[in-house]
Amino acid sequence: MTREGAQAAPSGDARSEPQARERPPRWIDSHAHVTAREFDADRDDALARAFAGGVDALIAIGAGYGVEANAEAVALAARDDRVWAAVGVHPHDAALLDDAGRAKLAGWLAAPRVVAVGECGLDYFYMHSPRDVQQRVFAEQLGLARERGLPVVIHVRSEDESAYEHLLAIWNAEGGGALRGVLHCYTGSLAFAKRALDRGLEVSFSGILTFKKDRGLREVARALPLERLLVETDAPLLAPEGQRGRRNEPAWVAKVGEVLASVQGRPVDEVAAVTSANARRLFGLSECTDLRGAA
Ligand SMILES: [Zn+2]
Ligand SMILES: [Zn+2]
| Residue (of 95, 101, 108) closest to 135 by Cα position | 95
- Chain centroid to Cα 119, Å, comes to 10
pLDDT at 156 over 90: yes
How far apart CA 267 and CA 13 sit, in angstroms, is 23
Average pLDDT over residues 165-181: 92
Residue type (1 letter), 21: R
CA of 155 to the centre of ligand 1 (A): 4
* Ligand 2 (single-atom ion) residues, CB below 5 Å: 234
Rounded to 5 degrees, what angle do the CA atoms 200, 60, 251 make? 100
Inter-residue contact 105 to 144 (CB < 8 Å): yes
Distance of CA 246 to CAs 239, 242, 255, 286, Å? Answer: 6, 9, 14, 32
First to last CA, the chain: 22
Inter-residue contact 124 to 131 (CB < 8 Å): yes
Residue at 273 is within a domain: yes
**Residue-wise pLDDT tens digits, 249-273:** 999 999 999 999 999 999 999 999 9
CA of 61 to the centre of ligand 2 (A): 7
CA of 286 to the centre of ligand 2 (A): 23
Query: What contacts 24, CB < 8 A, 6 or more positions away?
Result: 53, 54
CA of 32 to the centre of ligand 2 (A): 7
CA of 154 to the centre of ligand 2 (A): 9
Residue at 11 is within a domain: no
pTM, 2 dp:
0.89
Average pLDDT over residues 149-154: 97
CA of 157 to the centre of ligand 1 (A): 8
Ligand nearest to the CA of 157: 1
- Provide the percentage of residues in the chain whose pLDDT is more than 70: 89
Helices (H) and strands (E) in the chain, counts: 11, 8
| Residue 192 lies in domain | 25-286
Distance of CA 162 to CAs 113, 124, 156, 157, Å? Answer: 34, 8, 10, 9
Inter-residue contact 283 to 181 (CB < 8 Å): no
What local confidence, expressed as pLDDT, does residue 219 receive?
97
Q: Between 156 and 65, name the one with better pLDDT.
A: 156
Average pLDDT over residues 51-78: 94
Q: How many domains does the chain have?
A: 1
| Residue (of 214, 221, 293) closest to 262 by Cα position | 221
Ligand nearest to the CA of 33: 2
Rounded to 5 degrees, what angle do the CA atoms 72, 77, 79 make? 100
pLDDT at 66 over 90: no
pLDDT at 289 over 90: no
pLDDT at 13 over 60: no
Ligand nearest to the CA of 163: 1
Ligand nearest to the CA of 32: 2
**Residue-wise pLDDT tens digits, 219-233:** 999 999 999 999 999
Range from 4-13, 14-23, 55-64 carrying the lowest mean pLDDT? 4-13
CA of 11 to the centre of ligand 1 (A): 51
Residue at 4 is within a domain: no
What local confidence, expressed as pLDDT, does residue 15 receive?
47
Ligand nearest to the CA of 120: 1
CA of 198 to the centre of ligand 1 (A): 22
Residue at 1 is within a domain: no
Q: What are phi and psi of 55, to 5 degrees?
A: -95, 120
Residue at 14 is within a domain: no
Ligand nearest to the CA of 232: 2
Ligand nearest to the CA of 126: 1
CA of 185 to the centre of ligand 1 (A): 7
What local confidence, expressed as pLDDT, does residue 67 receive?
87
Range from 66-70, 87-91, 150-154 carrying the lowest mean pLDDT? 66-70
CA of 90 to the centre of ligand 2 (A): 8
Residue at 112 is within a domain: yes
pLDDT at 127 over 50: yes
Residue at 294 is within a domain: no
The CATH number of residue 75's host domain is 3.20.20.140
